[in-house]
Structure formats: structure tokens, C-alpha cells
Chain A
């Protein structure tokens, strides 16, 4: 009998490939949580957050107070001493989020923050280098928020645009380019899809307006299947009142808020809230 080697290989390939024992969704999530708990603690962000705790303690001793440091960090801009703490806190939160809608919501909120920072720097008359760096950070944040092989949705793009609505025209244009990079087919999110012009804050879904200035990251440990990514109004209130909010407190870590647009820089470089 002549053996049909080709047929044998195909049948075996199919049988073997389909025999990989799957990891159940619950086990996958359980193992992920276990791994990421350790990873977060020793990541660059985690170490910086740990350092920020120490910085905060030192700050308290200097009568600034932990809450004040955290609050200031949340409102800091690129170039500010506490800006690294703000980024580290964001990274630490994102690191523990499971993939899905909640993570995506947070990443878009972070991109919106970057847009707000660029807008604030431009409004304050910061140097071109600082603004360019902020725009670079925005582009990176947009890349992180966009799906692997696609672009932001119109709603997501509008959420980011809204944060830069009050930027000078030139910066607003640059932010628009970062949010919707020009491509050959110019696909993906576009303001023209909904009639929402860049920076106008119009157009998009009803959600797009509510996200700005109200978003707190929900409990990072929340089940993504139930996480809608909607803001935590309680934590938002706590943040606004500046009541001892830690940048590592995922309940109160505000991402969707708009502190960047509510504070100004003192002539001496210090921060002042309006």
C-alpha cells in the first residue's frame, strides 16, 4: 500500500493544531492578575510611584502635604517637577487594567490629557520645544489608545479634541493631525464624519461631552465585562476637593477631568488653581 504522506501530514496538522488545550477565560484572568500584580510593583512606573510616595512623605514634612503633592502632580504639565509622578501614576493604573473597554476608555482619557497639556502650554506661551514634546507625547498616547490595526473611533477622537478646544489655532491643528494622522486613504476617525470640526467639541456621541471633566478611572480591579468606563462621580468630587488624593489610588485617580485647563502657571513657575 502506498502511503499518502501529504494527506497524512494535513490530517495530523489539523488534529494536532486543534488539540492545544485552551486556558479558560477565568484562569487566564486569574493568572494575569497574579503576574501583573508583581510586574506592576517592579515596573518603571511602579518604582516611580513608590518613589513618589516617598516624595510625597517628604513633601508633607515640608508642609506641602501628601494630598497637596498628589493634587499638584495631577495638575502638572510637561517640564514640571511632579510631571513624572503624574505619568508614573497613569502607567501604574493602566498596567493593571485588563484588556477591553475599560482599558481603552482610560487610554483615550490619557490621550485627551496629553492634548489638554499641549493646549495649556500653547496658551501659556511656552516654548516651541515644550509644545512639540507635548505633541509627541500626544501622538504616542493616541497610538497606545488606537487598536492594533486601526484608528480611533469618531467619539474617541472627539473626546481628545475637546480637551484642546481652547488651544491657539496652530496648536489645535497640530493636535488634530496627531489625533487623526493623515494617511493615503485618510481612513479612520474624522471630524467630518459627524460634522464635528476639530477643536469645536461638537459632534460625536452624547457621551463625548460627559467624559470631559468628569472622568475618574473606575476601580482598576473591576470586572471589565461590567466596566463601562463611566466616570466615578464620587472619586471625582473627592479629587476636585483635593482631599488627600493619592496618585496611586485608582478609585480617585482622575483621568478624564480637565485640571490642565483649570490651572495657570504662576510667574515664578509655581502652580495655582483657578
Chain B
């Protein structure tokens, strides 16, 4: 998904840290789709997702002067902002609390999942199922599959260790598979 080399990204981030608007525009171009994809997976409407995406980048611009690339990777830093913006939006709209630790899956996934069902699931169906995941699971799915982030960077973004991320991803993927399967069974 990334069109920018790491070296160029690092240079662009450094320039943006020095309040270089053009460099920040480049970062927008690089990350807008990813931010939107995550935000959209946690919001009800495309319009809300666009508004929150704009908010994410404006918050990033406000804070980028204090960003230190020797610490958090930029993607992880930006994802944190996106995640916080989503949580803020939930609170602002007085939605039910974001189910940070609320497990959707119940027990182990015991039944074998029909691979053909997963392979045949269209994007809209997968997105609908991602919306049913817990906030943490959805975050891991977004970072690992949509942002192409490493386990390590994902762990940094969520303030967890790498084993915890692996476990979270495993549960998220299992849950996704199960929900896709259930949807298929219900429709059958």
C-alpha cells in the first residue's frame, strides 16, 4: 500500500515536523486512504468517516512538532491519533462506549471454517464483519492488513507486547472467519 520508500518517508516526516506544509501534504497523500479505511470501519457513515479523517490529520499537524521519529514509528503514531479521534467521536455522539475489551467471540472456534466461504466473501460483507469486532481487534486488523504495519509497530501503537498482538490478531481472524461462516449459514 505504501508508495513511499522508508527513506523518503523519514525525510518527509522530518520536514513536516519543521512545519513544512507541503511535506505534510505528502503525508496526507500517503496515509489518507489508510486512515479513512480504519475510521470508516468504526463509523456509521461515509460522511462521518471523512470528517474524522480530516480531524485526524489536523490533530496530527497540531502535534507533529513534538513527534520524535526515534521513538514511535510514524504510522503507529498516526494510528494512535486516528484511534483516539474515533473514540472521541463516539463519546461526542454519546454512542455506547467503544467495546475496547468486550469480546464478541464466545469460547473457542471449534468448527472448521469453510475456506470457500471466506474466499467468496465480498468486501462489503467483510467490512460489515470487521465492524462487529471489538475496537482492539478491529485496530489490529486495520494496522496489520490495511496499513501493512509490522507486529512490532502494531504493538507500539497499541502499547502492548508483540505476543499480545499476535494473540489479538489470531482471535480477530478467528472471529472474522466464524462471523463470515455464520452469515453464510444464516443466509443458506
Contacts and interface: CB of A to CB of B under 8 A. Distances in A.
A234 B20 CA distance: 30
Contact of A95 (B4, B25, B46, B53): B25
Among A17, A19, A31, A38, find the residue whose CB has the most chain B CB atoms closer than 10 A.
A19
Interface string B105-134: 000000011010011010110110010000
B29 interface: yes
Interface in B1-41: 3-5, 8, 18-22, 24-26, 28-29, 32-34, 36-37, 40-41
A188 to B, nearest CB: 17
B181 to A, nearest CB: 11
Contacts of A27: 36, 46, 50
B172 to A, nearest CB: 9
A34 interface: yes
A38 B58 contact: yes
- Interface of B, helix, strand, loop or mixed by DSSP: helix
A36 interface: yes
B79 interface: no
Given A8-B177, A16-B173, A22-B37, 8 more contacts: A8-B113, A11-B118, A14-B119, A20-B37, A31-B57, A39-B57, A44-B20, A148-B3
Interface of B: 3-5, 8, 18-22, 24-26, 28-29, 32-34, 36-37, 40-41, 46, 49-50, 53-54, 57-58, 61, 112-113, 115, 118-119, 121, 123-124, 126-127, 130, 141-142, 145-146, 173, 176-177, 180
